[in-house]
Amino acid sequence: MIDISEIYFDKTIVLIPQGNIDLRFDTILKRCNIPDMGLCNAVNDIFEINYIIKEGKKMSVKEIFQPNVEFSKSARIKSMAEYQALQDEAINDYEGFWSRFAKEKLDWIEPFTNTMDESNFPFVKWFDGGKLNVSSQCIDRHLDSKANKTAILFEGDRGDTLKITYAELSKNVNKFANLLKNELNVKKGDRVVIYMPMIPEAAYAMLACARIGAIHSIVFGGFSAEALKDRIQDAEAKVVITADGAYRKDKPYMLKPVVDTALSGKTPVEKVLVVKRNNEEIAWLDGRDISYNDIIDNQSDECEAEIMDSEDPLFLLYTSGSTGKPKGVQHNSAGYILWAQMTMEWVFDVKEDDVYWCTADVGWITGHTYIVYGPLAMGATTVMFEGVPTYPDAGRPWKMVQDHKITQFYTAPTAIRVLHKMGEDEPSKYDISTLKVLGTVGEPIDPPAWKWYYESVGQSKCAIVDTYWQTETGGHIVSPLPGATPIKPACATFPLPGIMAEILDPKTGKKVGAGESGYMCITKPWPAMIRGVWGDEDRFVKSYFGDVKKDGKAVYFTGDGAKYDEDGYITITGRTDDVINVSGHRMGTAEVEAAIKKYNNVAEVAVVGKPHEIKGEGIFAYVVLKEEAEAESEMKAINGMIKQEIGSIALCDDIILAPGLPKTRSGKIMRRILRSIAKGEKITQDISTLEDPSIVASIESMVNG
Ligand code: WT7
């Protein structure tokens, strides 16, 4: 145990470790007087505290980093005054603000007649009457001025590169669109599932769908056949676009066999379009499977863009919620593409000659908005990378920055932690001086990772934009502006202009004061907001508009807790629901539980999150078996079931074979207790109301000895 001489929490934390630094978390919390652990999921706080203990030195969480003066001079938003002026414009004339940008930023085939219609809230319409096509926004309108500019800069796992100009992108997408239309009979409104590696054809597929008005639904390549099947069926997809596979760490991996398994049995899918990437042998079903490479060059490179209404759906993207079944988040055309472009311009401040790289996978919303739609809508050069950042070594990203003269780099805290751990000094081995803006997304970033990112990657001159948003928001909602916002480490700072994001007290609907925890809400509809949960209106309304009311009116609730500091800066503290964040990916505990329950010897299961050094949160499962069996093989079987039902991304870090679960007399599982035990905290809360209080002690001793 260490002796803590002084701890202040909230403003400055000072821990003076003396001796062994093995301190129990609950002791720290108590001494730090952290209020309301229920709201404060504490991922951030844990890291802060760990950091202080490890380093044994003082760190003020109030430390402020001013924007780089040179950068600010040419930034789109140059100061907090300019930021405030924009936000005031939105506050004073909300529709006027959005109408101005929609006219300035988008090319309309027919102008819109009504900026926002919220008469049927939460079902809202933006830019009604307007007609446009998203693929034209991303391609056609750049052809006059940027035909020979690189649109997509691809780097393969094995270092192969390919530059695709806007003119080439146009041809490739038009051919792809013709292929979908003429060979696969895809029509406006049809759903197309894309299960692809990170290769340019994935972007062509998205844009080709947009061109003909088909609704794409990308399923991340790490999802299992079962997960893919669920998503195909929920969306009633007619076509699947996939590849034989791709390369990872210099070895081929396969996707097509997963599609084959997903389509065994009854399926709405008529055709599977297969792109060649690794040329490995694959099974072939004549009549269903179509080879992209065999027929793409027969297609005309002109395909007239479908004239779309502003509110025609653009895509679905399935994400986890607090129940077992993933939700098909629906985004529509005009509002989404507008905000994708505006946030690209404001938050990354990409300039004409810049090379911008977002390391996400197109299977997540980050890949949609910030690899494909946002960068291309603004006419930027976007990097697409097939490989993993630590292969062949942890210097790979920095070598890529050097080779391609990358100016903006956008990644997730989990990747930063890995790169830091595996290659602390790697950035200094390369010329990464071209970097101007660094971004992070997906989970709260912890101060040690932030500090390394800022100093070693950003050379203490780049702004770090900690962008807070979600699949449902379409684009960033709370983020620093690199030329304007004085940054506090690990802090998402302020709502972007036009976004009425507020931290509210869920009970009163009033804005919380400095230091108090509350719910991160958005009090007015915004153009890129989720339009629905595919096929489930009720779930849409209940999931997002059921928890918080402001002035008697339901507002959008993100599911995240947050707090303001004394300067009004927003810090996201983590989810308030049964959703955990594993390596920046949202995972519903109910979804993992449902998978585990499929294993026949499982009687009961409860899944919670536990802080994890690299992943942010790890998955911790308490399982009650039906019949006693050998622990090791049961745990293997449970993880095997998860791999089959969801994919490796949901594997448990810990499985405890418990004698029972702590439940109230009405049968509700007390997850709070299970969360505390997983974290190694001592249970101090009243457990006398439990059905069988002795369960807590036995689980506690199993987990924490
Ligand atoms: C959830 C959304 C948004 C793209 C990637 C994940 C968490 C996201 C931050 C951030 C703290 C963050 C939230 C959010 N989150 N960005 N900068 N700071 N938390 O998209 O799968 O829809 O997950 O990720 O909990 O609700 P997603």
Give the CATH number of the domain where residue 676 resides: 3.30.300.30
> Is 700 part of any domain?
yes
Tokens representing 478 are: 């709370």
Q: Classify the C-alpha dihedral 187-193-196-198 as positive or negative.
A: positive
* Cα(222)–Cα(253) distance, integer angstroms: 11
> Is 184 part of any domain?
no
Q: For the whole model, what pTM was predicted?
A: 0.90
Span 186-202, pLDDT tens digits = 999 999 999 999 999 99
Q: Mark which of 13, 44, 60 sits at the end of a domain.
A: 60
- Segment holding 136, helix H or strand E: helix 134-138
Q: Which of 201-205, 313-317, 673-677 has the lowest mean pLDDT?
A: 673-677
Cα of 656 to ligand 1 centre, how many Å? 28
% of the chain beyond a pLDDT of 70:
91
3-state helix, strand, coil in the chain (%, to 5): 35, 25, 40
DSSP state of 121: T
Cα of 228 to ligand 1 centre, how many Å? 22
Task: Please classify residue 433 by burial: count the beta carbons closer than 10 Å to its beta carbon, then call 0-12 exposed, 13-18 middle and 19+ buried.
Answer: exposed
Residue nearest to atom 23 of ligand 1 (CA): 470
Q: Is the pLDDT of residue 36 over 80?
A: no
> Is 94 part of any domain?
no
Q: Which of 322, 370, 468, 503 to mutate to test the pocket of ligand 1 (most atoms within 8 A of CB)?
A: 468
Q: Mark which of 60, 78, 104 sits at the end of a domain.
A: 60
Find the domain containing 18 and state its range: 4-60
Cα of 584 to ligand 1 centre, how many Å? 7
Average pLDDT, whole number, for the chain? 91
> Is 169 part of any domain?
no
Q: Quote the pLDDT of residue 569.
A: 95
**Mean pLDDT calculated for residue range 517-537:** 97
- Residue 571 Cβ inside 6 Å of ligand 1? The answer reads no
* Cα(64)–Cα(491) distance, integer angstroms: 10
- For the chain, the domain total comes to 2
> Is 591 part of any domain?
yes
Cα of 522 to ligand 1 centre, how many Å? 15
Q: Mark which of 13, 39, 60 sits at the end of a domain.
A: 60
> Is 544 part of any domain?
no
Q: Quote the pLDDT of residue 206.
A: 98
Cβ 616 vs Cβ 581: under 8 Å? yes
Cα of 346 to ligand 1 centre, how many Å? 19
Residue nearest to atom 3 of ligand 1 (CA): 470
> Is 92 part of any domain?
no
Which atom number of ligand 1 is nearest to the Cα of residue 559?
26
- Residue 581 Cβ inside 6 Å of ligand 1? The answer reads yes
> Is 353 part of any domain?
no
Q: Which of 75-79, 527-531, 649-653, 689-693 has the lowest mean pLDDT?
A: 689-693
